[in-house]
Amino acid sequence: MIIKNVKKYTENCNFEDAEIYIEGELFAGSVTEDASEPVIDGEGAYALPGLIDLHFHGCIGADFCDGSREALEKISAYEASVGVTTIAPATMTLPTTELEQILANAAEYQKNPAPGADLVGINMEGPFISPAKKGAQDERNIIPCDVDICRRFLEASKGLVKFIGIAPEESEDAVSFIREVKDEVHVSLAHTNADYDTALAAFQAGADHAVHLYNAMPPFTHRAPGVVGAAADCEHVWAELICDGVHIHPATVRATFKMLGDDRIVLISDSMRATGMPDGVYTLGGLDVQVKGNRATLVSDGALAGSVTNLMDCMRTAVKKMDISLESAVKCATINPARCLGVDKEYGSITAGKYADLVLLDQDLNIKRIIKKGALL
C-alpha cells in the first residue's frame, strides 16, 4: 500500500510532506509501485501513528474488570474505531482473587485476540493505594503493598501487567517493595496522599510513573509540592495526564508541559464503560457512577470517577482547547506510551519494520481513515 499526499508525523516528532509505504502488516521504507498496489490519496491529511492508551477502564458498556472475553472484544473494537490501535487497560481496587481472575482472562484473550486494538499491557491502579485518596476505588478492598501478592498478579497475567500502583505512605515497607519488584514491573504512584519527601524517596528507590498527575494526590502548592513536585524533580519519571477538559484545568496542562516537557508526559483517557454511551448511571469497580455529558461522578459522594472521553478526543481537546501543539500532543499519545510500555520497537511511530497502525486526520483533526496492521478499518 502507498499513501500519498499526507503530512507524515516523523520520528523527529514533526510533520513533513511525504508518502507512506506499507508492506503486509508493517511500515516499509519503499514498495514497488505497480497497478496491483493499492494507492490512497491522503488529500493533505495529517498522518500519525495509531494512538496508545495505557490507562483506561472501559468503553461502550464494557469494562476490563468484567473479566470476560466479550468485554475485551467490545473494548478492542471500539478503541480501534476511534484511532486508538494499542491498549493497556487498567484494573480497579477489587479483591485479590478477583483481580487474579481478571488478569488471567486477559492473558488467555491475548493468545487468540479479536480484531481491533492490540492488548499489549495492563495498568494496575489498585489495590495498594490510599483510603484518603481512593477517588472512585472501593476502600473495602485496599491493602498495603505486598511483594508476594504483586508476583501473584504478574504470574496470573503471564507478564501482561506493566505497571503496579502504590501509595508509599501506606506501608513502612514501600521502599523495600519498590526495590524488590522494580526490575519485574514498573512501579507507579497512584491514589496516594504522599508528601514530597515520601514521593521522592519512592521515585529514588525506583518507582518511575505517576498515575493521572494532579488527580487522587495532594495538590501542588508552593510550600508542599507533593507528588507533582517530586515527579518534576525526577527526570526518569513518566507522568500521565487526563486532558478531557474535566480533570485538569487547561492552564495547569500548559504549565505541566512547560515544567516536565513533552518527553515525559503520557496522555491517557482514564475512560470508563460509559464512554461512547448515553448519559445515565453506570458502574466502575462495583460503585455506581452518574454520567452527564463529559462528566462522571460517584453517586455516593460526587467524586470524579474516571472519564467518558476516549484518548483521541482527549488529544483533540489538548490541542484545540488547551493550546498544546499537535506535535507535542501526538508524541504524548503515541511514542511516549510505547516507550513506557516497552513496546516502542513494534509500535508508536511511522517507522519501517513497525506495525502499520495509522490514522489520517483532516485539518480539523477529524478522522478520515484508520489503518490497522496494514488493513483499512
Which residues are known to be catalytic?
270
Element (H, E) at 23: strand 15-23
Q: Would you give the DSSP letter of residue 349? A: S
Report how far residue 269's alpha carbon sits from residue 279's, in angstroms, rounded to the nearest whole number: 18
- 3-state DSSP call for residue 26? strand
Question: What's the per-residue H, E or C state across 325-337?
Answer: CHHHHHHHHCHHH
Q: Which residues contact 92 (CB under 8 A, 6 or more apart)?
A: 57, 65, 125, 126, 136, 137, 138, 284, 285, 286
What are the angstrom distances between the C-alpha of 161 and each of 39, 124, 131, 151, 359?
39, 7, 23, 10, 27
Side chain identity, residue 19: E
Distance from CA of residue 281 to its chain's centroid? 24
Report how far residue 310's alpha carbon sits from residue 292's, in angstroms, rounded to the nearest whole number: 15
